[in-house]
Structure 1
């Protein structure tokens, strides 16, 4: 949910002006791109996503699926073959997209994936089928969310959260109490605990419990993880706050904008942007110049959530990055801003 924009700090606004003036391709006072430029930008982004989906790199194939989601026709084109990919996480991502976008033409194929060798893929197949209205046995999800395999448990929790059935809350709470095998690290256990908490929050009617002790109770595992000693866990928790619209944490998110590592700053900036607060934009823009591929990719992806028209110029430039993952992240950002040609025409008139 996007809320009204509020100012978090004056310092960030000043940094925004400095950052924009220092970047090539961005002219102060520029309001955007012409309609034909935006249409061409969108088409170029679609081409990059298609190329990534056909890549020999499984990471690119998996991320291409997510990048295609704002354009359902493109997503439908890609998920068919990728549902049969040799790499399980790619199959998982394809099936989740079939469910999220309700691509009913792929629903029966999803049912057939219910016998996949990978349990996370089986769980995603159940999600894809049920989201498209097919009546199948969903009871295996209970087994998967209680699995001793942290990946299976975490993925099953995410799926239960997306399915929207509040009756699954008790099962998620039981899963949070279940032990893992000795080989599972403390960090991995904590990551799954946060994933379980996120799923429970999604299944709770927070409009009825916000500003109450109950809201503190259901959000506490995620809020506590923001202060973890592990940067990986902190980034995960911070990245959840925006999509969950946890406005109580806005002051904390604002404070993180100035505290490295860059991945944490970018996660905080995106969560703020998702709540309608763009004061973290200069941090995102600055990160486009990072020497680290992962940081540039995260920054490019985050720009796709901004409402600032000048950021499309930056995304256009980033489509030329030397790294294919960064180019794909920029393409994903463009398509979130311009899911249709009509959106390009509309934005050009603003």
Structure 2
């Protein structure tokens, strides 16, 4: 069973497609299905151009996803373009641009981040505090930690995300507090559980397991992603069982996370998307969703046999698919 919206959003290109833990979700523009770029140049050049075009796209979701690609592939040479989006009108775009500055240690944007500490939006302020912390100002950690008690559920969810990314294990009690609070919204509970997994607290395993056995495919995908973050042998074995899930999107999510953990066992599940024509009979959204997840898995598994599918994905009509393929290329050959 798959719920409406499918929370493909939550696989985060990491691309796919709700890139900010709790911030507003921008509308998807019809422009996201414009014709692909000309197929000239080598794949690496094409990938870079796709990301650059994405940063300037009219759709804030595409801009946000493009920033995420730059951050996760550590393409520091593209950070001057990201710096220009620190004052983007869309909150999710600003949020991810700030996180990219922190995660890549891009000190050339430190003055911009300092200004954003006074932003009217609390989500932006805590993102700026996180970036300052990553730039060497450890005293800003307490700003992020205190935000997890916010009455605003979006701020609480985003604070939980940032605590998980911080690597600070003393944040674990605060995350369990958010996880167990009766007033915490679903998005807070989901993010708190994943963030605890990111901090490698094995006590969260039973909570994650309940996601893997859910009747809903989107829950299973979220559970797989969190198990991948936990990264223990037990978590890896649990993900392996999901390679036999009846839903192709779940199988691909499992293959991706196993790739992150250094296991190529899911390679055949990715190849079958193309070799067995699993896209036949799907509507346009379903095809785009599967292609994005397949590209993400290819980027993590990094095998030559799967890389041969990337050129066709780089030319796909859908921008999210092209971005996912570009991310896979850049994961294999960083700029």
**Structure 2 residue aligned with 1:311, among 301, 306, 312?**
306
Equivalent position of 1:347 in the other structure: none
Contact preservation (8 Å) 2:164, 2:199: yes
Equivalent position of 2:11 in the other structure: none
RMSD between superposed Cα atoms in Å:
2.3
**Structure 2 residue aligned with 1:167, among 164, 170, 195?**
170
Contact preservation (8 Å) 1:91, 1:121: yes
Contact preservation (8 Å) 2:44, 2:333: yes
Aligned-residue offset at 1:285? 2.9
Counterparts of 2:265 and 2:91, CA distance in 1 = 38
Structure label with greater radius of gyration: 1
**Structure 2 residue aligned with 1:294, among 279, 289, 298?**
289
Counterparts of 2:42 and 2:325, CA distance in 1 = 14
Deviations 1:114-137 (A, max 9, x none): 222332222111111110113654
Contact preservation (8 Å) 1:65, 1:78: no
SS at match of 2:147: helix
Deviations 1:6-53 (A, max 9, x none): xxxxxxxxxxxxxxxxxxxxxxxxxxxxxxxxx921111000100011
Greater mean alpha carbon deviation, residues 222-231 or residues 133-142: 133-142
Counterparts of 2:62 and 2:267, CA distance in 1 = 26
Equivalent position of 1:266 in the other structure: 252
Counterparts of 1:54 and 1:272, CA distance in 2 = 33
TM-score (norm 2): 0.78
How many residue pairs match? The answer is: 286
Aligned-residue offset at 1:262? 2.3
Counterparts of 2:252 and 2:153, CA distance in 1 = 26
Deviations 1:199-242 (A, max 9, x none): 234335x6xxxxxxxx3x23222222222333322211101222
Structure 1 gaps of 5+ residues are 1-38, 207-214, 341-350
1:194 aligns with 2:190: yes
Equivalent position of 1:257 in the other structure: 243
TM-score (norm 1): 0.75
**Structure 2 residue aligned with 1:276, among 240, 262, 266?**
262
| Alignment map for 1:82-97 (pairs within 5 Å) | 82-97=85-100
| Alignment map for 1:1-350 (pairs within 5 Å) | 40-69=42-71, 70-134=73-137, 137-180=140-183, 184=185, 189=186, 191-204=187-200, 215=202, 217-287=203-273, 290=279, 291=282, 292-340=287-335
Counterparts of 2:209 and 2:330, CA distance in 1 = 31
Structure 1 residues 249 and 169: CA distance shift in structure 2, 3 A:
closer
SS at match of 1:310: helix
Contact preservation (8 Å) 1:82, 1:94: yes
Contact preservation (8 Å) 1:240, 1:271: no
Counterparts of 1:147 and 1:232, CA distance in 2 = 27
SS at match of 1:56: coil
Structure 2 gaps of 5+ residues are 1-40
Contact preservation (8 Å) 2:102, 2:134: yes
Deviations 1:100-149 (A, max 9, x none): 11111112211211222332222111111110113654443244212344
Counterparts of 2:121 and 2:246, CA distance in 1 = 37
SS at match of 1:243: helix
Counterparts of 1:151 and 1:229, CA distance in 2 = 26
